[in-house]
Every structure is written in C-alpha cells, then in structure tokens.
Amino acid sequence: MRPTGVGIGEVARRTGLSVHTLRLYERVGIFAGPVQRDAAGRRVYSEWDIAWLGNCVLFRASGMPLAALAELARLVSEGPGNEADRLDLLRAHRQRVREQMTQLTDCLMLIDAKVAGYEKHLAAGAGGDPWQPNRP
Amino acid sequence: MRPTGVGIGEVARRTGLSVHTLRLYERVGIFAGPVQRDAAGRRVYSEWDIAWLGNCVLFRASGMPLAALAELARLVSEGPGNEADRLDLLRAHRQRVREQMTQLTDCLMLIDAKVAGYEKHLAAGAGGDPWQPNRP
DNA sequence: CTAGGAGCTCGACCGAGGTCTAGGTCAAAT
DNA sequence: ATTTGACCTAGACCTCGGTCGAGCTCCTAG
C-alpha cells in the first residue's frame, strides 16, 4: 500500500465509470472532502477516495440517487458527531434495497413462469399462445 | 368475471400508475394491440389488458425499459409464430434481473456492515469514525 | 338548462444522470 | 521544437420516463 495518488483515467478504468462521470460526481459533491490536485491542477485520487467511490458505485447500482450520496459524503466529511444521521440514511436505503429485492424476486418468478411456458410450448410444437390464452 | 371494460381512472387506481402514465404507455406501444374505446372515444381496458399491465409494472420495476416492453407487446400482438423471439427477450431480461440481484445483495452486505459498525460505534459512545479510519 | 366530473389530444415541461465539445494547459517522447 | 496524449473548465446537449396544462367533448345529477 504505497501512498500513491491515482489519476482520473486510471480511476475510470478501475471503477468502470467514465472520466466525465467522475468529474460530474465530484461536482455534485459525492466525494467526502475535495479531491486533491497535483501542481498542474490535475486530480489525484487517494486510495481512500477510490474505495469510497467503489461504495458509491454499489449504492448507485442499488438505486441511491446522487443527491443522497452527496448528503452522505457531506456527513462523513463533517467528521464525527453525526453518526446517527448517517445511520438513518443507510437504514433508509437498506429498506429501499430490500423492497427492490422482493420486487426483483417477484419479477424473476414471473419471467421463469413465462419462460417455462414458452419452452414447453416450443418443445411441444405449437398449441395455443401461452401468453394470450383467450384473445379475439 | 363479467365481461366488464374498465375506465382509465379505475385502472390507474388499481395499478398505481397515473392516468397520464397510462396514456403515455399506450402511446409508446406497451399494450399488445390497441386499447378499446367506447362510443365517446374513452379508453376501455379489458381484464386482459389490466393483467398485462400488471406484468409490465413488474418488468418496469425490474428495470426493463419501455422500449423493450413495447417490443414484447409487438411480438405478442403479432400472434403465434415468434415465440422464440419473445423467449429471447425474456431470457435477456432475466439475465439482467439476476445481475441486479447479485448487485443488490452485495450492496446489502455493505450496508449491513456499515450499519453494524455505526451501531456498535454509537452504543460504545464515540471512538474513531468507523467510515474514515485514517483520514487527515 | 347547467354545473361537475371524467376523458380526450397535443404539446410543453421537468429532473435525473450522463455524455460530448471547444478551447486551453502541461509534460514527456521524438 | 513540436507532437502527442492526458488532463483541465465551462457549458451545451441527450435520453428516459414521467408530469402537467390548455382547451375540448361527453354524461349525469340537480
């Protein structure tokens, strides 16, 4: 773990985000505290920044809006004293994630049923349409 | 099961969508075949339409874009003969849903870890910040 | 007869989240 | 010395999925 700083291109490659998106994220305040710059003004991301970003990517993928991420970043950057608020944010998001998971599960069951229907249908060669049992 | 037709307001109430959204969905072709109208030009949804819409809502909630839904609707409305195509669409979406679920699972684990950290932190009263163990 | 409520169409508008462009700086390689 | 490539900012632009409003047509109840 050398105390390296990493350029934006490298971070983009590592996280799968575009450099544009990284700059956008910074503008909307997703980093906890300002990203460091080198002498020429180029961004230098710390390993901590990158780890945080990794969490952000997960949170985003689970539907957390940028604004919420920014709020969390603000809380963290303010340092100790607001842990309860962070906890609230996390718990609220956890709730939403759980709801999503049950929806995804439902959807998966539906798809599985339809897929099974079509597979049987195709294997058996024709027959009525499995999706529209009784349409004009 | 009377052969009722249902008005748009009632459908909105049943599905949780707004009437605006229902009309939008129709415009982008989400229904398999045109929605019936009464003498005055008002939409009359069949029970089949409503059931289909229910599936659409689930698919949407699982991230299927309207365009894909419209494509599926087109296939279904064309009647038998393209079952393989529908199957492709469904399998592709199933794949995406599965990926989402693993991401949600990952995210949930992360959140649980953070939440546990903060809970312990708060219960124990202060100590270092669980999220930024070593920040300047 | 008339007022209210539910629908209709068409088209404008909106917020979220990116994506891209123009025009410029810098540093290392040729 | 110049070219190349990575980076910078500011701001325009785009897609997606809704949401809303204006102005109209009905139907039904008072």
Give the pLDDT confidence of B61-90 residue by residue, as tens digits: 999 999 999 999 999 999 888 999 999 999
pLDDT for the residue B121: 85
Q: Give a yes or no: residue B2 inside a domain.
A: no
**A5, A44 in Cβ contact below 8 A?**
yes
Residue B2 in this model has a pLDDT that exceeds 70: no
Alpha-carbon distance values, A62 to A51, A90, A97, A129 (Å): 17, 12, 6, 36
Q: Give a yes or no: residue A14 inside a domain.
A: yes
The answer to whether B107 contacts A59, with C-beta atoms less than 8 Å apart, is yes
pLDDT for the residue A121: 85
Q: Give a yes or no: residue A1 inside a domain.
A: no
**A8, A19 in Cβ contact below 8 A?**
yes
Q: Give a yes or no: residue B133 inside a domain.
A: no
- Residue B24's identity, in one-letter code, is L
User: What's the CA gap between A11 and A56, in Å, rounded?
Assistant: 13
Q: Give a yes or no: residue A61 inside a domain.
A: yes
Size of interface A-B (CB pairs under 8 A): 115
Going by C-alpha positions, the residue among B60, B63, B62 that lies closest to residue B30 is: B60
Helix (H) or strand (E) holding B10, with range, is: helix B8-15
Q: Give a yes or no: residue B26 inside a domain.
A: yes
Going by C-alpha positions, the residue among B77, B3, B6 that lies closest to residue B38 is: B6
Confidence of residue B110 (pLDDT cuts 50, 70, 90): very high
Assign A90 to helix, strand or coil. helix
Find the mean pLDDT for residues B1-6: 66
Q: Give a yes or no: residue A80 inside a domain.
A: yes
Q: Give a yes or no: residue B118 inside a domain.
A: yes
Number of domains in chain B: 1
Identify any residues that bridge with B43 across adjacent strands, giving them in sequence order: B37
Identify any residues that bridge with B37 across adjacent strands, giving them in sequence order: B43
> What residues of chain A lie within 8 A of the CB of B126, using their CB?
80
Mean pLDDT over the full length of chain B: 91
Segment 97-116 of chain B within 8 Å of chain A by CB: 97-98, 100-101, 103-108, 110-112, 114-115
The answer to whether B83 contacts A112, with C-beta atoms less than 8 Å apart, is no
Going by C-alpha positions, the residue among B106, B128, B111 that lies closest to residue A83 is: B128
Tens of each residue's pLDDT in chain A, 136 residues: 445 789 999 999 999 999 999 999 999 999 999 999 999 999 999 999 999 999 999 999 999 999 999 999 999 999 888 999 999 999 999 999 999 999 999 999 999 999 999 998 888 876 666 676 444 3
User: What's the CA gap between B100 and B118, in Å, rounded?
Assistant: 26
Q: Which backbone phi and psi does A92 adopt, to 5 degrees?
A: -60, -45
Range of the structural domain that residue A34 is part of: 8-124
pLDDT for the residue B132: 63
Kindly tell me the sign of the dihedral angle through the C-alpha atoms of A14, A15, A18, A21. Answer: negative
Say which CATH number the domain at A108 has. Answer: 1.10.1660.10
Whether any strand D atom is under 7 angstroms from the Cβ of A7: the reply reads yes
pLDDT for the residue A124: 80
